[in-house]
Structure 1
C-alpha cells in the first residue's frame, strides 16, 4: 500500500469546515426547539384531543416515521419551490428536519404522558387546577422529565442525520466536506476528520442537553438522576 496520508491538505480548509459546523449547529438548535414544541402539542392531541385531530396526528406520525428523511426533504424543499414559494435552502432544510423530528418527538412525549399516574390527575382536579395548569404542571412537565434521556438521544441523532440534507443541496458540515473532497481528492482523510468532528459535536450537544436538563428539572438535579 503506497497511499500517502495528507491531513494537512484537508485541514487547510478549516474556514469551510467551521462554516459547515455552524450551519449544522444552527439547524440542530432551531429544529430542536420547534420539534419539541410540535411534538409536545401533537402528543397532547393524540392522547386527549378530539377524534378527528387524533386521526390527523396519527397519520402524520405514521407517515413520517415510515418514510426516509431524504424523500421527505426532497418533497418539502423542492415541492414548496414548485408551488412558486421560494425559500432559502436553509429554511427549507429547517422545515424538513422539524417535520421529521416532530413526529418522533410526538411518540416519545406520548409515552411520557401515558406513564403519568391517573391519581395525579384526580389530585389536580381536587385541588381546583384548571385544565391548562393540569396539562402544564401535572402532565407535560413530568412527562418531559421522564422521557428526557430519550429526547436527548433523539436530538443527537437529529444532528447526525442533518448530514443527509447535503443530498438536496444544503451546505452543512457533510455538504461542505463534499466540496473539500472534490478539490483535494483526499477521501480517507476528509472522512476521518468528519468522524472526529461529528463525535465532538455529539458530545457537545449531549452536554448542552444535560446542562439544560439540570436547569429545568431541579428534582433530577437534587437526586443526581442521569439525563
Structure 2
C-alpha cells in the first residue's frame, strides 16, 4: 500500500493555525504574568508569612502539584457551573493555567528566597529598611535571578500544556489542528505541523524569556 502525504491540505488552512498560535500565546502570556505573581506571593507566604498563611499556601501547592492539569481544567469549566459560576472556555483555560503555574512557581521562587544570604538581611536591617522594602529590593531580585531558568522552563511547560485546553473548545493550536484534520482527514499531516509549531514556539519563548528576565525583572544585563 502506497502512502501519500498532503501537507498542502493543512498549510492552506493557515488562518486557522495562525489563530490557534495567537490564542496559545495569549493564554501563555496572561498565565505567565499572573502565575509568577501568585508564585512570588505564595513563596513569601510559605517562607515568611504567619502560620495560618503558610498552611493555606502549602495546601494550595500540594493540591495543585498532585493532581492532573486536565482535572483542574475540567473542574473550573464543568465543576464551577454547578456552583453558579459559568465561564467561557478561554476564561476557564486562563484560570486553570494561572492556578497551575502559580503553585509550581511558588516552590521555585521559595527555593530562591531561602537561598538568600543572611548577611543581606542584616545589611537591610542596618539601613532601617521596612520588611516590604527588604523583600522587594534586597531579597526578591537575586532570588529571581537564581531561579529564573527554572521559572522559564515551567512557563514553557504550561504553554505546551495549553494543548489540553482544546478539550473544552478553547481555540488554541491543538484545537485548530484537530479542526483541520476533521475537515480534510489529514490527521498525520495536521498534527505533524502542529508539533513543529509547538517546537518553534517553545524554543522562541524560552529564548525570549531568557533575554527579557535579566533586563526587566532583576536588573542584570550580563
TM-score (structure 1 length as normaliser): 0.94
Matching of residue 145 in structure 1 with residue 145 in structure 2: yes
Instruction: Return the alpha-carbon distance in structure 1 between the equivalents of residues 207 and 174 of structure 2.
Output: 22
Between 40-49 and 1-10, report the one with greater CA deviation: 1-10
Match of 1:3 in 2: 3
Instruction: Return the alpha-carbon distance in structure 2 between the equivalents of residues 158 and 89 of structure 1.
Output: 17
The Cα shift of 1:84 comes to 2.1
The Cα shift of 1:169 comes to 2.3
Between 104-113 and 197-206, report the one with greater CA deviation: 197-206
The Cα shift of 1:124 comes to 0.5
Matching of residue 33 in structure 1 with residue 36 in structure 2: no
Structure 1: which 5+ runs fail to align?
223-227
Q: How does 1:49-128 map to 2 (within 5 A)?
A: 49-128=49-128
- Root-mean-square deviation (CA, aligned residues, Å) is 1.1
How many residue pairs match? The answer is: 221
Instruction: Return the alpha-carbon distance in structure 1 between the equivalents of residues 219 and 90 of structure 2.
Output: 35
- Kindly report structure 1 stretches of 4+ aligned residues shifted beyond 6 Å: none
Instruction: Return the alpha-carbon distance in structure 1 between the equivalents of residues 90 and 114 of structure 2.
Output: 36
Conservation of the 8 A alpha-carbon contact between 2:166 and 2:174: yes
User: What secondary structure does 1:99 align onto?
Assistant: helix
Between 185-194 and 35-44, report the one with greater CA deviation: 185-194
The Cα shift of 1:194 comes to 0.8
Match of 2:166 in 1: 166
The Cα shift of 1:112 comes to 0.3
Structure 2: which 5+ runs fail to align?
none
Match of 1:187 in 2: 187
User: What secondary structure does 2:194 align onto?
Assistant: helix
The Cα shift of 1:214 comes to 3.3
TM-score (structure 2 length as normaliser): 0.96
